[in-house]
Chains A and B, each alone.
Chain A
Amino acid sequence: MDKDAGSIERVFNSGAGAIVTKSIGLKPRNGFPNPTVIELEHGILNAIGLPNPGIDNFKEELLKLKKLNIPVIGSIFGSDYKEFVTLAEKMQNYGVNALELNLSCPHAKGYGLEIGCDPNLVKEITFKVKKSTKIPVFVKISPNLANITEVAKSAEEGNADGIVAINTVKAMKIDLELQMPVLSNKIGGYSGNAVKPIGIRCVYEISKNIDIPIIGVGGITTGKDAIEYFMAGASAVQVGSAIYYRGLDVFKKICDEIKIWMKHHEYNNLSDLIGAAHK
Chain B
Amino acid sequence: MNYPKVLKIIETRNETSDIKTIMFEYPEDITPGQFFMIWIPNIDEIPMSVSFIDKKIKGITFKRIGDATNALFKLKAGDKMGVRGPYGNGFKINGQRILFVAGGTGIAMIAPSVEKAINKEIKTNVLIGAKNKSELFFENRIKKYGAELFVSTDDGSQGYKGFVTDLAKEKISNNKFDQVLTCGPELMMKKLFELSQNISFQASLERYMKCGFGICGQCCVGKGLRVCKEGPVFNEKTLKNIEDFGVFKRDASGRKIKF
CB 8 Å contact bits of B218-245 with A (1 = contact, 0 = none): 1011111110000000000000000000
- Of B146-154, B177-185, B208-216, the one contacting chain A is B208-216
Contacts of A33 in B (CB 8 A): 43-44
CB of B45 within 8 A of chain A?
yes
Contacts of B210 in A (CB 8 A): 31, 34, 36-37, 48, 51
Contacts of B80 in A (CB 8 A): 177-178
B-side interface mostly: loop
B216 touches A48 (CB 8 A): yes
A39 touches B252 (CB 8 A): no
Task: State A134–B44 Cα separation when bound (angstroms).
Answer: 43
If the complex has contacts A34-B44, A48-B216, are A3 and B254 also in contact, measured as CB distance less than 8 A? yes
A46 touches B216 (CB 8 A): yes
A243 touches B214 (CB 8 A): yes
Chain B proximity of A62: nearest CB distance (Å): 13
If the complex has contacts A30-B252, A54-B253, A175-B4, are A37 and B216 also in contact, measured as CB distance less than 8 A? yes
A38 touches B252 (CB 8 A): no
CB of A29 within 8 A of chain B?
yes
Interface centre among B6, B43, B225, B254 (most CB of A within 10 A): B254
Residue of A nearest to B1 (CB): A39
CB of A57 within 8 A of chain B?
yes
Chain B proximity of A30: nearest CB distance (Å): 4
Partner pick for B215 among A8, A52, A184, A243, CB 8 A cutoff: A243
Task: State A57–B6 Cα separation when bound (angstroms).
Answer: 38
Task: State A38–B211 Cα separation when bound (angstroms).
Answer: 7
B253 touches A39 (CB 8 A): no
B6 touches A11 (CB 8 A): no
Contacts of B224 in A (CB 8 A): 1, 4, 6-11
Residue of B nearest to A45 (CB): B3
CB of A15 within 8 A of chain B?
no
Partner pick for B46 among A3, A34, A53, CB 8 A cutoff: A34
Task: State A30–B254 Cα separation when bound (angstroms).
Answer: 8
Partner pick for B252 among A6, A35, A51, A182, CB 8 A cutoff: A51
A1 touches B39 (CB 8 A): no
Residue of A nearest to B7 (CB): A177
Task: State A29–B254 Cα separation when bound (angstroms).
Answer: 9
Task: State A40–B4 Cα separation when bound (angstroms).
Answer: 10
Partner pick for A7 among B6, B43, B220, CB 8 A cutoff: B220
Residue of A nearest to B43 (CB): A33
Chain A proximity of B207: nearest CB distance (Å): 11
Task: State A48–B212 Cα separation when bound (angstroms).
Answer: 13
Contacts of A37 in B (CB 8 A): 210-211, 213, 215-216
CB of A28 within 8 A of chain B?
yes
B6 touches A177 (CB 8 A): yes
Task: State A182–B39 Cα separation when bound (angstroms).
Answer: 9
Residue of A nearest to B209 (CB): A34
Chain A proximity of B234: nearest CB distance (Å): 14
Task: State A22–B250 Cα separation when bound (angstroms).
Answer: 15
B256 touches A57 (CB 8 A): yes
Task: State A70–B101 Cα separation when bound (angstroms).
Answer: 40
CB of A118 within 8 A of chain B?
no
Q: 29 interchain pairs (CB within 8 A)?
A: A1-B217, A4-B224, A4-B254, A6-B225, A7-B224, A9-B224, A28-B255, A31-B253, A33-B43, A35-B45, A36-B45, A36-B216, A37-B215, A38-B2, A38-B84, A39-B2, A44-B215, A48-B210, A52-B253, A53-B254, A53-B256, A54-B253, A54-B255, A175-B82, A178-B6, A178-B80, A182-B39, A184-B44, A243-B214
